[in-house]
Structures are given as C-alpha cells and as structure tokens.
Amino acid sequence: ISVSDLVEESYKRINEVDGEVQAFITLNEEAAKAKAKELDEQRGNDDAKLFGLPIGVKDNIVTKGLRTTAGSQFLRNFEDPLYDATVVQKLNEAKSVTIGKLNMDEFAMGSSNENSSYAAARNPWNTDYVPGGSSGGSAAAVAAGEVPYSLGSDTGGSIRQPAAYCGVVGLKPTYGRVSRFGLIAFASSLDQIGPITNTVEDNAFLLETIAGYDKMDSTSANVDVPSYTEALTNDVKGLKIGVPKEYLSEGVNPEVREAVQNALKKYEELGATWEEVSLPHSKYALSTYYLLSSSEASANLARFDGVRYGKRADDVESMLEMFMRSRAEGFGDEVKRRIMLGTFALSSGYYDAYYKKAQQVRTLIKNDFEKVFEDYDVIVGPTTPTPAFKVGDKVDDPMTMYANDILTIPVNLAGVPGISIPCGFSEDGLPIGLQIIGNHFDESTVYRAAHAYE
C-alpha cells in the first residue's frame, strides 16, 4: 500500500462519516496529499518512525500554515500560524502526514464537545451521545476510523475521558514529559499533550515519538525517554495494584463498577495482586481544580485582546471598547465563566482564601498519590463515573458537567501519568474505560499493565 492510498483512504472515510461525527474543524487535504506523493517517491530508503502514517491533531496545537482555532470563534481567522508546536515538529520529523485539525471544546474547557464554537462532535458508537471532551474530536476520529492516530491534550481528563467514551486508548503523560511549546495554554501547570490510538502498542509508539526535553518549554523535564514499546512484555506477575476506595464509591454507576471489578479479576488471573487503598483528599479535587485551572486560564487568556491574535471587533471608538468587545464577541459562555471565576479567585483580598488554599490542597492530593506509590506499582479504577451521556443532557448544568471529571482530575493535580483503555460495554452498547495511573515518569509500567490487560 502506498502512502497516497493510506491518506486517500483517510479522506474517503472522513467524507463518509464526518458529516455526522463532526470530528474535524479544518482539513489539510491538499497539503497532505502532496506530502503523501513526496513520501511515496522516497520509499525504500526511509525508515522514519511514523513514515506515511495519517495523524489528526487537536486544534489547540499550533500547526504552521494550517488554521488553528482551539475551538474558538476568537481564532476563526488564525489561518496561517508561523510555527509548528514541538510535538508537530517531531511528527513531521517522523514523517507522518497531518490529515487535519480536530474538534474540541473551546480552549479545552468542557467534557462533551458541546462547548466547541464550530459544531458538537458526536460519539461514533451512537451519535445521540457525546464523544466526551475536551479532546472529543481526537477520540471520535480514531473510533470512527477516520485516522489511526491522533493527539489530544489533557488538563483535567480531556484525553482519558473522551478515550473512555469512544472506546479507544488515551494517555496523559507525566507533567513535563511532553513539550507544551505550541499548545494554546489553558492551565499551564496541568496541561499535557498525549496520544489517542486504537491499541496500547500504537499509543506507546506515538508517545516515544513526541516525548522528551524541549528547551522551548521551561517546564519540560530533562529526563530520559525509555522505549515504551519495549516495556510491553505482557508480564504482570507480581504487579501490585492499588484500588482507591474513593474510585468505586456510590457515585460510580454499577455497570462501570462491574466492568472494573472484572478487569481486576483478569489481573489476578495474570498473576498481579490488588488491594484497596485510599486517596483521602480526592473529595477536594474538583473544587481545587476549578479554582486553579480557572485562575491560570484567566491569566493565559488575557493575551486574546483583539490586538495580537485572531478576532478584533469592528466599529469601535476607543481602545478599551476594542478590548472589551473583541473579548465579548470572541469568547463563548463557558470560557467567560472560567475567566470570571479565575479573576475573582486571584483578586486581592480573596487570593489567600481561594487560590492559595487550593494550592495547599493540591499538595495534599499529590502526597496521597506518592504515599500509595510507596507500596504499589499502579493505581487502577474507572476513568469516568458513567459511560457517555446524551447530547444536550448536561449542557445547561455546568456543575454536573464538572462532576464528570472527578476521577481524572486528581491525576493532573498530582502530575502523574494515566491511561484509559476499553474494558467493556454498558447495556446500551457504550464503551467503558479502565484508568491505570502510574508514578511520575513511569509511563512504562502503565503501558505494561495496560497492554497485558488488552
């Protein structure tokens, strides 16, 4: 099969299904086909790692010359970015082909894709249901067979939750493992880019390609990147699994709980052992996350002022009016809600009570994980409390929408890696995700455990 055939196949599938799935915001068809032709001419003397593989990229990752909107009307006309994000540069070096930019909740704020200002992507298993968010397009595109690989970003669950809802594999790496240079920032102390794929092996392969130190990202970690594919030994004999009791509480849907219990049985059969553990500060994770992520977002999004990027309001009479109207017209409701919350939490007189307190609780949450990892190799539980919900079900109720991320958010606050892999289906035929969490920079053990289960 030629690269041109592969790329052709990808666009054919997109033509067939994307009218309904709506996973893509922008396609890169002309450039991708030209690149495929070029790669076909080099065949035979090229062993680049991802040679000719079609990839979809979440639309908050900057791609040189290819429109990057972050799901926002603010960046609707950001047609011609001047540089590639480091991860995209690495994909290009590995000679993959970028098929297009994937749908997402605006500025990665959301859990259902309904906050995209373009279209709400749908769950390919049943298009009455959401694909999850914010990387809903990235998960849906892989699940629908439009691309074999994609990149997402995860601040509070945005890779793992949509991977769980769409029945694919999604990993959030350790904070600092993958460069954030060129990722449009939401909450810089939590954001990580990661791979979404059909199999654990593909996932490990893609992470190997994008991970590593980058001097362009001051929080990037100078830690060696091992071969993750070599970690896939299928051997989990003696692996010690901790199962947090908070992760199987009453709030978790019985079908999800049963699927996770079955997965634990399978691990026992494979020679691993598991015990109940506790992450006692998990109950504070949601409020901590929304305070910290919104505070960081309010600062990060200050750059969208109508002067430097994207939208500028017309017919304004003063500079102040230009700032205000550009922001009023360019941002959607959820983004405004977060900016207001964050600005409030950071304001003088409230800072100590909210932001500082949240930072302190964040440390307690991180300590909970460190304590468990003194005795256990991985932590296992569900990715989400329920399978995918229906489009429209939670859109008017931000608090229930937020509650959906209760099991993924602590992982971002602690900075540790976590993967979601499929572990069964609900009675309605919707996928259920198993979450496997590892210690800092120990993606290898996470992949080994995930691969043995798969």
Residue 269: CB minimum distance to ligand GLN, A: 33
Among 54, 131, 148, 156, binds ligand GLN (CB under 6 A): 156
Pairing state between β 192-197 and 169-172: antiparallel
Q: Does 131 bind ligand GLN (CB under 6 A)?
A: no
Q: How many secondary structure helices (H) and strands (E) does the chain include?
A: 14, 11
Q: Does 386 bind ligand GLN (CB under 6 A)?
A: no
Residue 418: CB minimum distance to ligand GLN, A: 12
What track of x and - describes contact with ligand GLN for positions 182 through 221 (by CB under 6 A)?
----x-----------------------------------
Among 110, 136, 167, 385, binds ligand GLN (CB under 6 A): 110
Among 18, 84, 154, 202, binds ligand GLN (CB under 6 A): 154
Q: Does 410 bind ligand GLN (CB under 6 A)?
A: no
Residue 110: CB minimum distance to ligand GLN, A: 5
Please work out, in degrees rounded to the nearest 5, the angle formed at the alpha carbon of residue 216 by the alpha carbons of 213 and 219. Answer: 60
Question: Rounded to whole angstroms, how far apart are CA atoms 123 and 348?
Answer: 43
Residue 258: CB minimum distance to ligand GLN, A: 25
Select which of 158, 220, 293, 420 is catalytic.
158
10 is catalytic: no
Q: Does 157 bind ligand GLN (CB under 6 A)?
A: yes
Q: Do the beta carbons of residue 251 and residue 406 sit within 8 Å?
A: yes
Among 106, 405, 442, 443, binds ligand GLN (CB under 6 A): 405
Select which of 134, 150, 153, 220 is catalytic.
134
Residue 58: CB minimum distance to ligand GLN, A: 10
Write the DSSP assignment of 117-174 as a string of letters.
SS-----TT-TTB---SSSHHHHHHHHTTS-SEEEEEESSSTTHHHHHHHT-EEEEPP
Give the list of residues 6+ apart from residue 403 with CB closer than 8 angstroms, or none: 286, 385
134 is catalytic: yes
Phi and psi at 242, nearest 5°, equal -105, 135
Select which of 4, 35, 58, 293 is catalytic.
58
Q: Which is nearer to ligand GLN, 323 or 402 (CB)?
A: 402
Structure tokens at 241: 């699994």
The residue number with the shortest CB distance to ligand GLN is 158
Q: Does 293 bind ligand GLN (CB under 6 A)?
A: yes
First to last CA, the chain: 28
Q: Look at residues 61, 152, 109, 114 and name the one whose alpha carbon lies nearest to residue 290.
A: 109
- Sign of the torsion angle spanned by Cα atoms 46, 68, 305, 183: negative
| SS3 state at 290 | helix
Among 28, 103, 158, 203, binds ligand GLN (CB under 6 A): 158
| SS3 state at 420 | strand
Among 109, 236, 414, 446, binds ligand GLN (CB under 6 A): 109
Question: Rounded to whole angstroms, how far apart are CA atoms 212 and 223?
Answer: 7
58 is catalytic: yes
Residue 228: CB minimum distance to ligand GLN, A: 22
Q: Which residues contact ligand GLN (rule: CB under 6 A)?
A: 108-111, 134, 154-158, 186, 293, 405
Which of the residues are catalytic? 58, 134, 158
